[in-house]
Amino acid sequence: MDEAFFLYEEETEWQYRMNKAGWASMIFPESKVVHNHHSSSGKIGQIFVHFHEFRSRIIFSNKHDRLLKRIIRKTMIFEALILRIIFNSLKYLFSGNVKVKRKIKVFYALLKFNLRPRNRILQDRFSFANYQGLFEGH
Q: What beta strand segments (E) does the chain contain? A: none
pLDDT of residue 125: 82
Position 42 pLDDT exceeds 60 = no
Q: In 3D, which of 126, 124, 16 has the Cα closest to residue 69?
A: 16
In the chain, % helix, strand, coil (3-state, to 5) comes to 65, 0, 35
pLDDT mean across residues, the chain: 88
Name the residue type at position 35: H
Degrees to nearest 5, angle at CA 73 with 72 and 76: 90
In a 3-state reduction of DSSP, which class is residue 78?
helix
Burial class of residue 54, CB neighbours in 10 A (0-12, 13-18, 19+): buried
pLDDT of residue 35: 73
pTM of the entire structure? 0.83
The tens digit of pLDDT for each residue in 55-99 reads 999 999 999 999 999 999 999 999 999 999 999 999 999 999 988
Position 110 pLDDT exceeds 90 = yes
- Ramachandran region, residue 9 (left: φ > 0; alpha: ψ -120 to 50; beta: rest): left
Cα–Cα distance measured from residue 53 to residue 76, given in angstroms and rounded to the nearest whole number? 14
Cα–Cα distance measured from residue 100 to residue 83, given in angstroms and rounded to the nearest whole number? 14
Name the residue type at position 63: K
